Amino acid sequence: MSIEVRGVSKRFGDFVALDDVNVSLPTGQLTALLGPSGGGKSTLLRIIAGLDSADSGTVTIEGTDATHLPPQRRNVGFVFQHYAVFKHMTVAKNVAFGLEIRKRPKAEIKKRVDELLDLVHLGQFAHRLPSQLSGGQRQRMALARALAVEPSVLLLDEPFGALDAKVRKELREWLRRLHDEVPVTTVFVTHDQEEALEVADEIVVVNQGRIEQVGTPDQLYDEPANDFVMGFLGETTTLEGRMVRPHEIELSPVRTAHELDGVVVRLLRVGFEVRLTVLVDRTGEEVQVVTTRAHARALGLDVGDVVHLSPASVLV
Amino acid sequence: MTTLTVRPAPPGPPASGSDHRRPRRARPKRHTLTGGSGLGLGVAMIWFSLLVLIPLAAVVVTAAGGGVGTFVDALTNAQTLAALRLTVGAALVVTVLNMVMGTVIAWVLVRDRFWGKRVIDLVIDIPFALPTIVAGLVLLSLYGPGSPIGVQVNNTRWAVFLALAFVTLPFVVRTVQPVLEEIDTDAEDAAAALGADRFTTFRRVVLPALVPAIFSGAALSFARAISEYGAVVLLSGNLPGRTEVVSVRLFSSIEGGNTAAAAALATVMLLIALLAIVVLDLGQRWVARRG
């Protein structure tokens, strides 16, 4: 295990940011810390980096007890949501910073900076100032800067949070490919479940200072440990008091056993899918159902129609 | 330990349209003033001319009216020369001192938390807000004859330094403070994670961001120091050739009816002030370029 967090707690005044957190993050993997804002995931990342200190507990990085080490001596790369560029330095100078601190020979620094800038596709921007780059380019520069010192772990705090949707999507695909090329242990914080599901090898769900579940994207989606995880990863609705995914509810025109009758009260067509709100007769609850456009057309669904619902898992 | 090797770049950069922005340099076209801004510029120029340009021109004209001789006489006068040397020298020393101390004080006020911080924050402005003659009186009662703390510097050059340092204290503090408040501490965290100790982080990451503010504070401080009269006049004793500053010398020239000499000296001071502004601006650019 590359990073071991044991019994870490952290309070800010009365607010409990982390409550006895235990987690192991494996070497060479891309791990997402996923959870709602204010859930403690950024605090956990900053404690791993040494930028904040825990009230209690230990942090071990690559087998070394790092609990009381300052950030300078933890050999971690850190990437911030708002880039944290050194504004007055050129792109090349930014990337060279960590190497200059380590007093590496000039020629070696130049070679390494050139390599890294090529890696992040900023070779032709070496002599620009960060203010002359777009957000996505700045974040790639920040990534190159963090990678320059060959960190044992790379920590990214909401790295794409400040970017617009399109660049964000491109960058996260690119990060995944970069990680496959440069397999340094990477932990990134996000509140976007889609981002975590798409990019991460493993996801740690953090909520209210506690870890809710650790697992692969598939495990978390298919076997959520609790309602919170289920609700956070993907849409949910309640059917007979149970949490289910709206697209896992079967709609049928003919009534069979286990089924509930209901009336369609709302119908929305969004792209390829159709979203229905069905008022169930027996329980009086409003259930969200998602089906495909083709299926809805085949059933001839419209507002006011009576439909029969059954959770897909019951049919299987 | 995972070692990192840089292999050929992963396929395809994220290349969206917005991702390749040109350096922003919107240069306004010439002669495109709207009616409103034309009026604004006109009012500003009239006001500026009445208050600044015309009086300055008048001083220069008065000085020039006496011919080159007046300048030569004024500048070769030993007493005037001594006053000029003392004033400019003390102003330089005090300004350099302020650049260091002002930055330190601003840092403490922004970054540290301690009891009574808000009071100190308020008190910083007092040297600036006090009528200068009152500042002089305050200094005289503390460092003059019969000093309650046993430090007596009246009628010495220390008195000049002390008075100038007192009245110019707030300038650098007040220019650096807002910049420091706005600085994003993430950059410092980033430097720390990259291995920079606190001093290196300050020198290479924080200080460059403060340089423009430090230099503009220094310009204000120098300008105030070379022009100070009230705070100096009581404590320094105005001993000719020893503790007499330019403003006092100028005043006595006028009292003595020698208007031409006063105007010549005033013109010299005007040039020194201009030179200081230019030098400080160049200095700031030079430091900014060096990073």
DSSP output for B263-282: HHHHHHHHHHHHHHHHHHHH
For residue B206, what is the nearest residue in chain A, using CA coordinates?
A86
The pLDDT assigned to B287 comes to 80
DSSP code, position A205: E
Predicted confidence (pLDDT) per residue in B131-188, tens digit: 989 989 988 888 888 888 888 888 888 999 999 999 999 999 999 999 999 888 899 9
Give how far B222 is from chain A: nearest CA, Å: 26
The pLDDT assigned to B290 comes to 67
Token pair recorded at residue A138:
């700045």
Q: Does B14 sit within 8 Å of A84, measured CB to CB?
A: no
Share of chain A above pLDDT 70, in %: 96
The pLDDT assigned to B257 comes to 84
The pLDDT assigned to B153 comes to 85
Predicted confidence (pLDDT) per residue in B216-239, tens digit: 999 999 999 998 998 898 888 888
Nearest to B58 by CA among B223, B272, B254, B259: B259
The pLDDT assigned to A256 comes to 67
CA distance A310 to A261: 9
Confidence of residue B29 (pLDDT cuts 50, 70, 90): low
Predicted confidence (pLDDT) per residue in B31-57, tens digit: 677 778 888 899 999 999 988 889 888
pLDDT at B18 over 50: no
DSSP code, position A150: -
Name which of B2, B20, B190 is nearest A78 (Cβ-Cβ).
B190
Count CA atoms within 13 Å of residue B131 on its CB side: 3
CB neighbours (10 Å) of residue B25?
A: 6
Token pair recorded at residue A2:
């590359």
Name which of B4, B189, B204 is nearest A84 (Cβ-Cβ).
B189
Name which of A62, A134, A184 is nearest B18 (Cβ-Cβ).
A134
pLDDT at A45 over 90: yes
Confidence of residue B2 (pLDDT cuts 50, 70, 90): very low
Predicted confidence (pLDDT) per residue in B102-112, tens digit: 999 999 999 98
The CA–CA distances, whole Å, from A238 to A4, A33, A152, A257, A259 equal 37, 27, 44, 19, 15
Chain B environment of A86 (Cβ under 8 Å) = 187, 190-191, 204-205
pLDDT at B5 over 50: no
DSSP code, position A72: G
Q: Does A121 sit within 8 Å of B187, measured CB to CB?
A: no
The pLDDT assigned to A297 comes to 86
Give how far B194 is from chain A: nearest CA, Å: 5
CA distance A62 to A150: 14
Q: Is A75 left (phi over 0), alpha (psi -120 to 50) or beta?
A: left
CB A293 within 8 A of CB A273: yes
Name which of B24, B186, B195 is nearest A82 (Cβ-Cβ).
B186
pLDDT at B254 over 50: yes
CB neighbours (10 Å) of residue A181?
A: 14
Q: Does A80 sit within 8 Å of B194, measured CB to CB?
A: no
CB B92 within 8 A of CB B190: no
Nearest to A249 by CA among A241, A257, A259: A259
Within the 189-228 window of chain B, which residues sit less than 8 Å (CB to CB) from chain A?
189-197, 200, 204-205, 208-209
pLDDT at B24 over 70: no
Residue that has been written with the tokens 């006090």 in this structure? B130
Task: Classify each residue of A89-104 as buried b or exposed e, where b means 16 or more C-beta atoms within 10 Å of its C-beta.
Answer: bbbbbbbbbbbbbeeb
CA distance B84 to A122: 55
pLDDT at A7 over 80: yes
Angle, helices B207-227/B157-182, rounded to nearest 10 degrees: 150
CB A25 within 8 A of CB A12: no
pLDDT at A312 over 80: no
Q: Does A147 sit within 8 Å of B194, measured CB to CB?
A: no
CB B288 within 8 A of CB B209: no
CA distance B76 to A83: 59
pLDDT at A168 over 60: yes
Confidence of residue A316 (pLDDT cuts 50, 70, 90): very low
Beta strand A273-280 with A260-270 is antiparallel
More confidently predicted of B22 and A185: A185
Name which of A84, A115, A174 is nearest B190 (Cβ-Cβ).
A84
CA distance A273 to A292: 5
Confidence of residue B6 (pLDDT cuts 50, 70, 90): very low
The pLDDT assigned to A261 comes to 83
Confidence of residue A163 (pLDDT cuts 50, 70, 90): confident
Residue B68 near chain A (CB below 8 Å): no
Q: Does A134 sit within 8 Å of B20, measured CB to CB?
A: yes
The pLDDT assigned to B169 comes to 92
Instruction: Please calculate the CA angle A127-A131-A132 and round it to the nearest 5 degrees.
Output: 55
Predicted confidence (pLDDT) per residue in A202-233, tens digit: 999 999 999 999 999 999 988 899 889 998 88
CA distance A308 to B190: 57
Helix segments in chain B, DSSP class H: 35-48, 54-65, 67-76, 78-111, 117-123, 126-129, 132-143, 157-182, 186-193, 198-201, 207-227, 230-236, 246-255, 259-290
Instruction: Please state which of the ranges A183-187, B13-17, B84-88, B151-155 shows the lowest mean pLDDT.
Output: B13-17
Token pair recorded at residue B265:
């000296």
Q: Does B6 sit within 8 Å of A137, measured CB to CB?
A: no
In total, the C-beta contacts within 8 angstroms joining chain A to chain B are 140
Nearest to A41 by CA among A63, A67, A68, A23: A23
Q: Does B200 sit within 8 Å of A101, measured CB to CB?
A: yes
Cβ partners under 8 Å of residue B44, min gap 6? none
Predicted confidence (pLDDT) per residue in A111-135, tens digit: 999 999 998 889 999 999 999 999 9
pLDDT (mean) for A69-79: 92
Give how far A39 is from chain B: nearest CA, Å: 20
Confidence of residue B7 (pLDDT cuts 50, 70, 90): very low
pLDDT at B30 over 80: no
The pLDDT assigned to A68 comes to 92
DSSP code, position A117: H
Q: Does A97 sit within 8 Å of B2, measured CB to CB?
A: no
